[in-house]
Structure 1
Amino acid sequence: MQDIVAVLGQAWITSVMLLAVRIAALLFLTPVLYAVSMPAPVRLAIVLGLACVIALPLAGSGTAAVVDVGALIQAVLVEASIGATLGLGVLAAFAGFGLAGRLIDIQVGFGIAQVFDPLTRSRLPILSAIFGLFAAVFFFTIEGHHALMRGLAYSVELFPIGQGWTPAAAAEPVLKQFGALFALGFALAAPVVLGLLLVEFALGVVSRNLPQMNMLAMGIPVKIAAGLLALSVWATGFGAPASRLYAAIYQSWTGWFAQEGRR
């Protein structure tokens, strides 16, 4: 261990540990790592590996090592806050998919049928869990993990490891993204919700003209069939609003980085 410290330098090892805190706060706050079932030691190894790779250019840079306990705790909290702020953007995008799934679940009637969701580690309605899994698959399909790593690497340049930052610069971009979350999330489910609303109107007309029919027994299977049919048809146009949800992540980060760069 002493030989490793002598070769790499105490300052670089401290930088790796602090950067690992930033990466852990980013990844553990988002469902990215939970998309694939893996043990906790494997997740820790991934975080440390990414920290070593990103911090490799800092080796031998002459960065002073943090030796004071109070300064070290403060640096850990700073790194955790930066990583958590980055993670909020990713979390908002995944929450948009969850919102779309909940809207369809309520309209179809799947709200009471819940399954275990591995992404959120909780029980969710069926379509909400499916939307969450689709969000993770779509994220990796459009190479969102590559853009995530590029944003993380740029954050190291903009916010040097262990140094302070101004949370006020991130407030406006993050709030704008969360404000657009409901519109973008509804855009994912809007055609299906509209189709189910028309089915509700049709069932209401039938119930008005044929009061002897049990609309509760007939309406539920009709809405389920109509909802799944509308969802399968809408799947061909699902990519555009989903891409806008993920584009909002990088727009939020870009706005934050731009405001921080002007300071």
Structure 2
Amino acid sequence: MNAIVSLLGPDWIVTMLLLSARIAALLLMTPLLYAASMPLLVRVLVTLGFSCVIALPFAGSPATVPQEPGPLLQALLREVTVGATLGLGVLMAFAGFGLAGRLVDVQVGFGIAQVFDPLTRSRMPVLSSIFALFAAVFFFLVNGHHALLRGIAYSVERFPVGQSPSLAGAAEAIAREAAALFTLGFALAAPIVLGLLLVDFALGVIARNLPQLNMLVLGVPVKIVAGLLALWAWAGAFGAPAGRLYAGIYRTWTAWLAAGAR
């Protein structure tokens, strides 16, 4: 017991707390693992638990963390910056699902209908809420939570506590990956959106040839039914682009950490 206490000394505690700042900033920007309904005590315990596990290899190693208040505050801010930037990759992937849901909502006509989303604790359109819930479920189905923990450990391996990558060198890599993620988000909704555009074209032809029909009344239920049928037909092929969207998280992290090391 005394040997364990001697290993887990003040330097290790400082390392663990700094690492907690990195992980807390990451989880704060992850809508899945840091949902607003999660109690504060659970958030703190999860963050400290992850930090203790990842910081255990540093026990007994030479101190690399600052001891003075000024440098310690700078190290804390660097850890928050690193964690927030890692969380940005996760947030962009979920935003890709949100973009897909919003595009479908607008085309179907559900954009004006708002429901309560339990994940974000806010009101959002119907299909956008469904896409957000699907994104959360699919994240666990592809073991995204395991890869998330491995990504945190990889960031600590590349940039130990107290060090941070160059944000200036990583800006271009992050912007490039963000464009790719939002392109994949559009690809999720593209078949449905294109199908509904064809429905709009068909309704326009009908309105041109049968002006006595009220297209405003007829078009809304037709587009809703067509949109739901297109969503049902596309659901079977949804997994491949959704998997690429989550793979973009780790591409973003790898590109950022590689560019930041230059």
TM-score greater than 0.5 by the shorter chain: yes
> Which residue of structure 2 lines up, in the alignment, with residue 241 of structure 1?
241
Deviation at 1:117, TM superposition (A): 2.1
Moved more, 169-178 or 137-146: 169-178
Letter in 2 for 1:188: L
Superposed structure 1 runs of 4+ greater than 6 Å apart? none
SS in structure 2 of the partner of residue 33 of structure 1: coil
> Which residue of structure 1 lines up, in the alignment, with residue 200 of structure 2?
200
> Which residue of structure 1 lines up, in the alignment, with residue 60 of structure 2?
60
SS in structure 1 of the partner of residue 74 of structure 2: helix
C-alpha separation in 2, matches of 1:252 and 1:70: 31
Letter in 1 for 2:153: A
> Which residue of structure 2 lines up, in the alignment, with residue 117 of structure 1?
117
Deviation at 1:181, TM superposition (A): 2.8
C-alpha separation in 1, matches of 2:182 and 2:149: 26
C-alpha separation in 2, matches of 1:20 and 1:194: 45
SS in structure 2 of the partner of residue 75 of structure 1: helix
Deviation at 1:182, TM superposition (A): 2.9
C-alpha separation in 1, matches of 2:13 and 2:25: 19
C-alpha separation in 1, matches of 2:120 and 2:235: 23
SS in structure 2 of the partner of residue 251 of structure 1: helix
Q: Which whole-Å deviations, capped at 9, do the CAs of 1:72-109 have from their partners, x for residues lacking one?
A: 21111000000011111111111110000000000000
Aligned 1:202-217 pairs, distance under 5 A: 202-217=202-217
Q: Sequence identity, in percent? A: 66
The normalised TM-score by structure 2 is 0.93
> Which residue of structure 1 lines up, in the alignment, with residue 177 of structure 2?
177
> Which residue of structure 1 lines up, in the alignment, with residue 151 of structure 2?
151
> Which residue of structure 1 lines up, in the alignment, with residue 134 of structure 2?
134
Q: Count matched residues.
A: 260
> Which residue of structure 1 lines up, in the alignment, with residue 250 of structure 2?
250
SS in structure 1 of the partner of residue 170 of structure 2: helix
Deviation at 1:33, TM superposition (A): 1.3
Deviation at 1:34, TM superposition (A): 4.0
Moved more, 197-206 or 62-71: 62-71
C-alpha separation in 2, matches of 1:181 and 1:13: 37
Instruction: Give the superposed CA RMSD.
Output: 1.9
The normalised TM-score by structure 1 is 0.93
Deviation at 1:65, TM superposition (A): 5.1
Q: Which whole-Å deviations, capped at 9, do the CAs of 1:105-160 have from their partners, x for residues lacking one?
A: 00000011011223333221110111011111111110111111111101111111
> Which residue of structure 2 lines up, in the alignment, with residue 76 of structure 1?
76
Q: Which whole-Å deviations, capped at 9, do the CAs of 1:174-199 have from their partners, x for residues lacking one?
A: 10111123321111011111111111
- Shift of the 179–65 alpha-carbon distance from structure 1 to 2, 3 Å rule, reads closer
> Which residue of structure 2 lines up, in the alignment, with residue 94 of structure 1?
94
Moved more, 76-85 or 180-189: 180-189
Letter in 1 for 2:229: L
Moved more, 64-73 or 112-121: 64-73
C-alpha separation in 2, matches of 1:226 and 1:64: 61
**5+ residue gaps, structure 1:** none
Deviation at 1:232, TM superposition (A): 0.6
Whether the aligned pair in 2 keeps the contact of 1:5 and 1:13 (CA below 8 Å) is no
